[in-house]
Amino acid sequence: MHDDRTLVEARLKRVLDERIRPAVYPASVPLDVAVWNAPGEPVPVAEGLAAEPVPTAVGQRWGAPWGTSWFRVTGTVPKEWAGRTVEAVLDLGFDENMPGFQCEGLVYRPDGTPVKGLNPRNQWVRIAAPAEGGEEVRLHIEAASNPVILDYHPFLPTRLGDKETAGSEPQYKLARMDLAVLDETVWQLVIDLEVLGELMHELPADSGRRHDIVRAVGRALDAVDLQDVNGTAAAARALLEGVLATPAEPSAHRISAVGHAHIDSAWLWPLRETVRKVARTTSNMTALLDDEPDFVFAMSQAQQWAWIKEHRPEVWAKVKKAVADGRFVPAGGMWVESDTNMPGSEAMARQFVHGKRFFLDEFGVENDEAWLPDTFGFAAGLPQIIKAAGSKWLLTQKISWSQTNRFPHHTFHWEGIDGTRIFTHFPPVDTYNCSMKGSEIAHAAKNFKDKGVARHSLAPTGWGDGGGGTAREMIAKAARLRDLEGSATVRWETPAQFFEKAEAEYPNAPVWVGELYLELHRATLTSQAGTKQGNRRSEHLLREAELWAATAAVRCAAYAYPYEQLDRIWKTVLLHQFHDILPGSSIAWVHREARATYAALARELNGIIDTAQRALAGEGTDALVFNSTPHSRHGVPAGGAAPATSDGEAAIASRAQGGFVLDNGLLRVEIDARGLVVSAYDLVADRESVAPGQALNLPQLHADFPNMWDAWDVDEFYRNTVTDLTRADEVTAGEGASVRIARTFGDSRMTQVLSLAPGARRLDIDTEVDWHETEKFLKLAFPLDVHAERYASETQFGHYYRATHTNTSWEAAKFEACNHRFVHIEEPGWGVALVNDSTYGHDVTRTVRAEDAGTTTTVRVSLLRAPRFPDPETDQGVHRFRHALVPGADIGDAVREGYRVNLPERRLAGGRAVAPLVSVDNDAVVVTAVKLADDGSGDVVVRFHEAYGGRAKATLALGFPAADVTVTDLLERPLADATPPALSGDTVAVRLRPFELVTLRFGRRAD
């Protein structure tokens, strides 16, 4: 037989596009349309429904950027349509290629009942099935005219990303507002042909199954009368029954489809618009659950559930019912799908505390899985946090975006820094927006790395990013793929059902140790410095607020612990750790609001701290220093307050060759006439820090124009061009032992103060940059005379080692990485730490010097970038950073100085010193939280971990009378398999493994 396969395939495409799909709605009549444009921000539903609209029509433009228009559509179902299925087809001016990225709508009945959402791939509203004829139709559409930011030519700078700069030009044109007859037979024929056509393309060209499908499709197309599609669709469908009924091979890959709508809590839209996106999507999904008995939908991010409850109670009622029925599934157990690289230890823990507690309180649901499909890499401390929250599984697919190396597994055990292992799955479908296309299902089966030992994978199914969720077409395709020869099999299942099956079939899954580094989106560690600084400072202010409020609540009868206030603030900070806010990849509006929010939270938290400290200090004139760090400081105990001791003196002198010398007896620092550090001499160890011929604190400027994803990416070729900013406008002595350096470059200005405090083996570097560059990357370089094959960077509840060399492509790909408060490099017996108060991105490289064969290890901190998409004014303006160079530092010094630079002393006049609520006798055991239990019981909760990477013994001394002690999970619930340490008087002895995390809950006794 001649091979006419390509002829049939081309025929199928044209007949579907030009004849069969248009016949899905064979008859239609226009609806009458009127519109009311809400002034300013969105209005409550009742106000929108009550507003008096003015007539408009299809073809009219509507919708200023970020505006809201309330459309009223009315009409009558024609009598002759009796017995037919009737739908309203409501096209607001959609581009079907952009679901979630443009205008959207939520349809209401006149009484305010939500019906369903409208988006580019979901434009229908069921009116009657079957219709009686003569029904009056009246619907209201709350339409959001969100502008298109990521257009067909992506990454072009646009002012549309902020309401303040977007203008008022209408963005859309009404395309269709009709009542229409739905021919369900034709609609089913479309699905039949799409499934078979897509499957056919994925099968080997010489396979018998492919040719069976080709022949069946050819016969079906022969049966379709192109002038009477509706009259001949049933006959065409009958000719496809055979090929659709052939069962899958027993060895076929098995896919658990989970209905899904990955909704970014902010990205190319502001937070307030996400509230409406969630309402639109969940309205669609609850309606779909009513129509499709096999369908299961999962939604993560407790914050988004809370938004529905708070802002859309009419939608919330439907969601609650669907959850009770077991088919609308809370997933993930986190407050938002956060970034996991940059959030600090406690913040990462609280993501799970607040997320899991919301689902437990509202629905009695405990999440066993962490659900993070789109997060930009995963810190090595995360497995322990997941386990400590009472969960045991992780799902993500973002690692499939890595540019250099293909991850070797899809199902595996992920081991964190402390040895905790989490069963992890990367869906081989390689998307969190699966639409049940044949190409997607075939890709999942072919791509699955664990063939021969495992057979299950998961497919998050539904339009995402901007929401929309699962469409009825996807469900119809899944029904045909349930058991179809040539395809993987598909079943609707919950995340838990998938993980239970996957774990049971693959108990000896391979192990991946260490971080899950995404070889992409590395610039998210630097973009939007103001947002990152707001996050870091909020985390530390929350530490202080909880510590001093708990101490005051225990010690001062008149002080009330601010439970609700702290809960609200934590949730706000956690929201802003969402993986497109904290990483700096959202529109200007999002970051403008974030900066204002962080400023407001700082005022509020400082108020809590001040009130608690004043209650503790009492009346008096003693100069008290409050120490919030986990280590003693200037004679003040950790978590306590007392007068500070003096640490000697520091001096400044002129340098013979120009510049200055700072000396405090521990460290001698030479700063040359260029304002660069040419010597940082550890007087105790008799050791120079600066590599020969080099200078520290060297500002370097790179061109920074990645191939795509401007705010997200920095491509390795950025290193090919660099300008050392060595010219100083002034180098002058400052107050105390300090030097002030001012530089200008391009349109920007940098001012630095380098200072040496008495008694400190630490050079403080305060940097202010008035930044007005475009597509540039600013770094500070520290070339150190240290031979190190690896370096440590702080992560959650510990630190993680990365190579300084590039032996393999895996190591070479980590040319920009994340740290929290410190980076540390060392040779045996001597090291250097570089600590910071608000930066995350850095790189570490090594070279061997020709002149003496010594090794120079260069640490560079990333300060600022200037991408133009999606915020064309990214980081323009003034920024302040604090870093400190700590020569002679071991890992303990790095930990201690990292806390000190982030938690400055607070000074207050008072009448009494404050003893710590909890103290620890081993600096390797670091307390990350002291607080009162969230349940309002008054119990004291203390969380701590081993921070040096070794085993540790410690005694916790309590500054209050304790009745009992319990080992708990992060949610402060007793751990059934944990033996509590013995309470001896008011002390507790503990032993910890490397990086082990422990939470203890102490009941208080009344003495």
Closest among 578, 539, 584 to 898, alpha carbons compared: 539
Task: Report CA torsion sign: 428, 431, 437, 443.
Answer: negative
CA–CA gap between residue 728 and residue 658 (Å, rounded): 12
Q: Which two tokens stand for residue 343?
A: 């959030």
- 248 in Cβ contact with 419 (< 8 Å): no
Q: Cα(997)–Cα(994) distance, rounded to whole angstroms?
A: 9
Is 457:253 a contact under the CB 8 Å cutoff? Answer: yes
Retrieve residue 330's tokens: 């809370």
In single-letter form, the type of residue at position 274 comes to T
Catalogue the E-assigned strands of 44-190. 54-56, 61-62, 67-76, 85-91, 104-108, 114-118, 124-128, 136-145, 172-173, 176-182
Considering the candidates 212, 374, 875, 939, report the single residue annotated as catalytic: 374
Residue ranges of E strands in 146-210: 172-173, 176-182
- Order the strands of the 511-513 sheet from edge to edge: 369-371, 393-395, 421-425, 411-415, 511-513
Angle between helices 563-575 and 529-555 (to 10 degrees): 160
Q: Which two tokens stand for residue 989?
A: 């002895």
Strand partners, 800: 793
Q: Write out the two tokens for 375.
A: 């997060």
Q: Terminal CA-to-CA distance of the chain, rounded, Å?
A: 96
> Is there a cis peptide before residue 828, judged by omega within 30 degrees of 0?
no
Q: CB within 8 A of 180, min separation 6: which ones? A: 25, 27, 28, 29, 86, 87, 88, 89
Q: How many helices (H) and strands (E) does the chain have?
A: 19, 53
Cα distances from 410 to residues 44, 257, 424, 723, in angstroms, run 45, 16, 8, 42
Q: What does the chain come to in residues?
A: 1007
User: Which DSSP letter does residue 892 get?
Assistant: H
* CA pair distance 985, 372, nearest whole angstrom: 44
Structure tokens at 469: 């969720």
Q: Is 374 a catalytic site residue?
A: yes
User: How many CB atoms sit inside 10 A of residue 126's CB?
Assistant: 14
Find out whether 547 and 930 touch, Cβ atoms under 8 Å. yes
Contact between 359 and 391 (Cβ < 8 Å): no
Tokens of 589: 């509006």
Long-range CB contacts (within 8 A, 24+) of 973-982: 973/390, 974/1001
Q: CA–CA separation, 642 vs 637, rounded Å? A: 8
Running DSSP on this structure, what letter comes out for residue 774?
S
Distances (CA, A) of 849 to 499, 690, 720: 52, 13, 20
Helix-strand-coil percent breakdown of the chain, rounded to 5? 30, 30, 40
Contact 142, 106 (CB under 8 A): yes
Contact of 957 with 918, CB cutoff 8 Å: yes
Provide the 8-state DSSP code for 76: E
Q: Report the C-alpha gap between 924 and 945 in whole angstroms.
A: 8
Specify whether the backbone of 775 is left (phi greater than 0), alpha (psi in -120 to 50) or beta.
left
The β-bridge partners of 30 are 178
Residue 635 tokens read as 């004679």
Structure tokens at 153: 């030519």
Q: Which residues are catalytic?
A: 374
